[in-house]
């Protein structure tokens, strides 16, 4: 029940905003503020921690427990005019559809196909301002026993390019060297592509597979896959142009956390 003359709910709002009364609407200023969904929603380590009440389909990834606690206590002053890719000291802002697509590419990279194949897409705004993609493209399968790499080709420029690094590993033929791909390291090609983008995302497993294979196996033709001690579940690594080292991500989101955020966000935003 909503009284438009007062700008108040006559019964409690079912969307809890933590630091705001459940009877207020639009931060008590319904002429300036709109709040049909309760966005932007902020999350810390995969759990909801607060909202600024602005409907813009954005998700804030909070960078510290201290900021999360300030939000929960209603002591935090939310910034104005946030956009996809806003990278402050307190939080990184990402469009919900971009995060969902990155998580989808990550999940595909963790399948059998993703072990040897790069997958990718580009999220760009359509006429309505919504971020969309033209589907997920597949690169050539990498032969993990050889040195050459095969990259997925992502058409277009701008927006947010998303691609995976193969999640498998193997031993290079004729050597003791283990071949694996680190999604938390951007190649020079990846860094060059970032210049035309809002920011870029690389998904997959973080870290490499360590160690070498003993010389007794060299030249035997046997396929040896070493033990993979990398963290399970994969990561969504976000690379930004304002980073001092563009080869390293400005933010790494564990895949499990991204899944938890998306599951919580959609009901809050009134989405199925």
- pLDDT tens, residue order, the chain (272 aa): 777 777 777 877 655 555 567 777 666 766 555 554 446 899 999 999 999 888 889 999 999 999 999 999 999 999 988 999 999 999 999 999 999 999 999 999 999 999 999 999 999 999 999 999 999 999 988 888 787 777 899 989 999 999 999 998 877 777 777 888 899 999 999 999 999 999 999 999 998 776 656 555 555 655 555 556 676 789 999 999 989 999 999 999 999 999 999 999 988 877 65
Indicate the number of domains in the chain. Answer: 2
For residue 272, being part of any structural domain is answered with no
Element (H, E) at 262: helix 255-268
Same domain, 12 and 79: yes
Domain boundary residue among 32, 62, 95? 95
Same domain, 57 and 127: no
Same domain, 117 and 89: no
Same domain, 136 and 251: yes
Same domain, 216 and 83: no
pLDDT for residue 65? 96
pLDDT for residue 37? 46
How far, in Å, CA of 219 to CA of 234, rounded? 33
Contacts of range 36-45, beta carbons closer than 8 Å, 24 or more positions apart:
36/270, 37/268, 37/269, 37/270, 38/268, 38/269, 39/268, 39/269, 40/78, 40/82, 40/93, 41/264, 41/265, 41/268, 41/269, 42/68, 42/71, 42/91, 43/257, 43/261, 43/264, 43/265, 44/68, 45/257
The values of phi and psi at residue 256, to 5°, are -65, -40
Range of 169's domain?
97-262
For residue 268, being part of any structural domain is answered with no
Residue 268's nearest CA partner among 52, 4, 44, 11 is: 52
Same domain, 134 and 253: yes
Same domain, 134 and 232: yes
Residue 100's nearest CA partner among 239, 186, 203, 243 is: 203
Domain boundary residue among 39, 66, 95? 95
Same domain, 91 and 168: no
The values of phi and psi at residue 103, to 5°, are -70, -35
| Cβ atoms 212, 247 nearer than 8 A | no
Domain boundary residue among 70, 95, 120? 95
Element (H, E) at 263: helix 255-268
Same domain, 104 and 167: yes
Same domain, 45 and 167: no
Residue 98's nearest CA partner among 50, 59, 44, 41 is: 59
Residue 190's nearest CA partner among 170, 162, 169, 167 is: 162
Question: Is the link from the previous residue into 114 a cis peptide, with omega within 30 of 0?
Answer: no
């Amino acid at each position: 029940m909503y009284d438009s003359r007062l700008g108040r709910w006559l019964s409690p709002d079912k969307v809890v905003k933590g630091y705001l009364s459940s009877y207020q609407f639009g931060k008590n200023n319904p002429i300036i503020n709109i709040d049909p969904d309760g966005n932007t929603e902020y999350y810390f380590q995969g759990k909801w921690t607060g909202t600024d009440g602005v409907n813009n389909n954005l998700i804030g990834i909070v960078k510290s427990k201290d900021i999360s606690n300030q939000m929960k206590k209603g002591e935090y002053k939310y910034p104005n005019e946030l956009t996809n890719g806003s990278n402050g000291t307190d939080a990184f802002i990402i469009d919900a559809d971009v995060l969902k697509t990155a998580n989808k590419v990550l999940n595909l990279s963790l399948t059998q196909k993703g072990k040897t194949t790069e997958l990718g897409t580009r999220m760009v705004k359509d006429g309505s301002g919504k971020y969309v993609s033209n589907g997920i493209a597949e690169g050539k399968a990498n032969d993990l026993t050889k040195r050459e790499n095969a990259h997925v080709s992502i058409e277009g420029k701008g927006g947010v390019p998303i691609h995976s690094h193969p999640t498998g590993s193997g031993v290079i033929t004729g050597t003791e060297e283990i071949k694996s791909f680190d999604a938390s390291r951007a190649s020079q090609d990846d860094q060059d592509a970032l210049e035309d983008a809002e920011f870029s995302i690389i998904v997959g497993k973080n870290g490499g597979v360590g160690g070498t294979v003993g010389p007794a196996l060299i030249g035997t033709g046997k396929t040896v896959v070493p033990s993979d001690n990398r963290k399970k579940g994969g990561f969504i690594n976000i690379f930004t142009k304002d980073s001092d080292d563009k080869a390293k991500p400005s933010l790494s989101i564990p895949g499990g956390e991204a899944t938890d955020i998306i599951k919580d966000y959609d009901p809050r935003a009134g989405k199925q």
